[in-house]
Chain A
């Protein structure tokens, strides 16, 4: 099976712009989660989608949003970018509840805000 795939891998944006990151989960996985990784704050949970519905949400401002499509692919969007949004954004997928929640991570999208 192919692993979790994220695009784009690297991008540079200007303050005030918005960005959309994409994630394709492992085939058959219906849960997709997003994490932000920075040197200062470490790995922080953004949100989780399951069957196109947001199931969990972390403590991030409303500028951070996401969605999941019927094929389980997911996107996250950050609007009005700030310098502090520069980070590695990780997508993760896991099987349905009841099958154990071994969570598999993608390689991430490196976002630099200038």
Chain B
């Protein structure tokens, strides 16, 4: 079964601290993985996709097929990073995404 697990509902860190939001997936084929972010009162927006291997707003994520993980990392958190983060698993290049439950990141001053 296809599944995405984000074990932390809330992650609270101080500004300048490193951040790691965990994501594990279950998928039998070749996974397509994404991180979406939802800032307060804004629409869900794509942050990263594994295939791009890019860094957006200082965030990176590496696909680890051995550990079936796609953790999101940032070396120095900023207050504006406070938001809800969702890990999502794509399905065969279609519009279907399976989302994790989301992790609220709270960056304290």
Contacts and interface: CB of A to CB of B under 8 A. Distances in A.
Contacts, number: 67
B49 interface: yes
A33 interface: yes
Contact of A97 (B43, B94, B101): B94
Contacts of A101: 32, 90, 93-95
Contacts of A33: 95-97
Given A101-B32, A105-B43, A43 B99 contact: yes
Contacts of A43: 44, 86, 97, 99, 102
Contacts of A100: 49, 51, 93
Interface string A4-39: 000000000000000000000000000111010000
Task: Tell me if A's interface is mostly helix, strand, loop or mixed.
Answer: strand
Interface residues of A, number: 29
Given A31-B94, A33-B96, A56-B94, A102 B49 contact: yes
Given A98-B93, A103-B46, A103-B97, 12 more contacts: A3-B43, A33-B96, A35-B99, A42-B102, A94-B94, A94-B95, A97-B94, A100-B51, A100-B93, A103-B90, A105-B45, A107-B43
